[in-house]
């Protein structure tokens, strides 16, 4: 993918929280259309890493470049357009509690895109079907299994037809059936839309479970706040196992 233009680039990026260094001097690029898995321990700062990529938090030093432009230089409208084409799935799904599943999925299109109700309904039905959520469409999140909430969160991210998709430990604690549903949808998205995807994962989990290999192009390992390895997913994973 080296011949494909970078979609995201970090240049000597560091991030501190409460005077503690979370990420230290990160430099790398992610190609347009690349599926990158970022692995580390539970305390390594993988969620801040994703947030830095979309300007939800600012680096303590260094620069984040999106499509050739420093994110610090984005106008308000440029940032809004960028985020409207970014899907983000957090570990708990982050659904709105007083909306049912159908309404949660439709939410981004209703308030930020100005598309017709007919188009919204069509897209919602598409993801209710493909993510096996039809039976939960009119239920509110409270009391639903975490797996169902995560699938709904993924549907809400996919409905915007994103250029960039950020997945925070999406496969952690999910059953085989749910993982299979997610893989099928992400494969289709990657093929049809050439979406760039960043997915965080746990290093220990990656040594025993390999759901990501059906999707990922590359694997980056972060330890102690620094990148210690980056390369082909299977090759880097094999070295992790060997260690």
CATH number of the structural domain spanning residue 30: 3.40.50.300
Taking the complete model, does pTM exceed 0.85, yes or no?
A: yes
Structure-model confidence comparison of residues 91 and 4, the more confident one: 91
Structure-model confidence comparison of residues 113 and 179, the more confident one: 179
Q: Which long-range contacts (C-beta less than 8 Å, at least 24 apart) are formed by 67-73?
A: 67/5, 67/7, 68/5, 68/6
Q: Does 64 map to a domain?
A: yes
Return the residue matching tokens 């059936």: 177
- Looking at the DSSP bridge assignments, the partners of residue 29 are 9
pLDDT tops 80 at residue 113? no
pLDDT tops 50 at residue 2? no
CB atoms within 10 A of CB 139: 15
pLDDT tops 80 at residue 102? yes
User: pLDDT value at position 1?
Assistant: 44
Q: Does 158 map to a domain?
A: no
Average pLDDT over residues 176-181: 93
Q: Does 150 map to a domain?
A: no
**3-state secondary structure at position 162:** coil
- pLDDT band of residue 69 (cuts 50, 70, 90) is very high
Q: Does 55 map to a domain?
A: yes
User: Residue 114: which residues within 8 A CB-CB, separation 6 or more?
Assistant: none
User: pLDDT value at position 231?
Assistant: 95
User: pLDDT value at position 4?
Assistant: 66
What is each CA distance from 23 to 1, 16, 42, 47, 233, in whole angstroms? 25, 7, 14, 11, 22
Q: Is 183 in contact with 154 (CB distance < 8 Å)? A: no
pLDDT tops 70 at residue 127? yes
Helix intervals (H) in 85-175: 101-112, 117-130, 146-158
Structurally, the chain folds into a number of domains equal to 1
pLDDT tops 50 at residue 60? yes
Q: Does 205 map to a domain?
A: yes
User: pLDDT value at position 230?
Assistant: 95
Q: Does 27 map to a domain?
A: yes
- 34 phi and psi, to 5 degrees? -80, 145
Pairing of strands 20-31, 6-17: antiparallel
Average pLDDT over residues 136-144: 94
- pLDDT band of residue 52 (cuts 50, 70, 90) is very high
Average pLDDT over residues 209-215: 84
Structural domain of 203: 1-85+191-243
Average pLDDT over residues 182-197: 92
pLDDT tops 90 at residue 184? yes
Q: Does 230 map to a domain?
A: yes
pLDDT tops 80 at residue 200? yes
pLDDT tops 50 at residue 3? yes
Q: What is the DSSP string of 63-95?
A: EEEETTEEGGG--HHHHHHHHHTEEEE-TT---
User: pLDDT value at position 157?
Assistant: 95
User: pLDDT value at position 28?
Assistant: 95
């Amino acid at each position: 993918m080296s011949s494909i233009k970078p979609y995201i680039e970090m240049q000597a990026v560091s991030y501190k929280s409460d005077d503690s260094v979370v990420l230290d001097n990160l430099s790398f690029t992610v190609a347009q259309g690349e599926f990158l898995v970022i692995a580390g321990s539970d305390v390594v700062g993988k969620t801040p890493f994703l947030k830095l990529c979309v300007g939800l938090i600012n680096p303590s030093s260094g620069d984040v470049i999106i499509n050739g432009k420093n994110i610090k230089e984005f106008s308000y409208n440029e940032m809004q357009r960028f985020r409207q084409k970014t899907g983000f799935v957090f570990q708990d799904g982050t659904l709105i509690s007083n909306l049912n599943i159908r309404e949660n999925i439709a939410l981004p299109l209703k308030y930020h895109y100005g598309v017709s109700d007919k188009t919204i309904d069509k897209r919602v039905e598409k993801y209710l079907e493909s993510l096996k959520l039809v039976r939960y469409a009119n239920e509110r999140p409270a009391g639903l299994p975490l797996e169902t909430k995560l699938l709904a969160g993924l549907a809400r991210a996919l409905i915007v037809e994103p250029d960039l998709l950020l997945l925070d430990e999406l496969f952690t604690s999910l059953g085989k059936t749910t993982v299979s549903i997610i893989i099928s949808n992400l494969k289709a998205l990657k093929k049809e839309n050439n979406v760039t995807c960043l997915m965080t994962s746990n290093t220990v989990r990656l040594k025993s479970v390999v759901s990501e290999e059906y999707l990922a192009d590359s694997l980056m390992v972060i330890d102690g706040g620094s990148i210690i390895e980056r390369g082909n997913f299977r090759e880097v994973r094999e070295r992790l196992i060997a260690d």
